[in-house]
Amino acid sequence: MTDPVAFLLGLGFTVVPLVGYLARLVVKRRRLRSDLARPPHL
């Protein structure tokens, strides 16, 4: 593994999990917010 590849890999291992988690969280929050606004399920 060369130095630039390792650096990009390290950067990717930081950005991808963070962005992935944040995106999932935003989608989940949007769904929950619309669920809260809907009348309750029977």
Partner 1 sequence: MDDNVTTPAQTHAIGVPTMFIRTLPYAAVGSLILLGLLVWFAAPDWSGQTDVTAPLTRNLLFVHPAAAWAAFLGYGIVFWMSVRYLNRPDPLVDMKAATAAEVGFLFNTIALLTGTVWGAMEWVESGQNALATVYSEPKVLVVLVTWFTFGAYLSLRRVIDSEPRRARLSAVFGILGGLGVPFSFATSRLISTSLHPDVAGPGSNPDAALGAIVGGILAWSAVAFTLLFLVLYRMRLEAMRWEDQIVERDAAVGA
Q: Write out the DSSP string of 1-24.
A: --HHHHHHHHHHHHHHHHHHHHHH
Whole-angstrom CA distances from 40 to 28, 29, 32 are: 18, 17, 12
x-or-dash pattern for partner 1, window 12-41, by CB under 8 A? -xx--xx--xx--x--xx--xx-xx---xx
- Count of residues of this chain found to bind partner 1 when the rule CB under 8 A is applied: 24
Give residues in contact with partner 1 (CB under 8 A). Answer: 1, 3-4, 6-7, 9-11, 13-14, 17-18, 21-22, 25, 28-29, 32-33, 35-36, 40-42
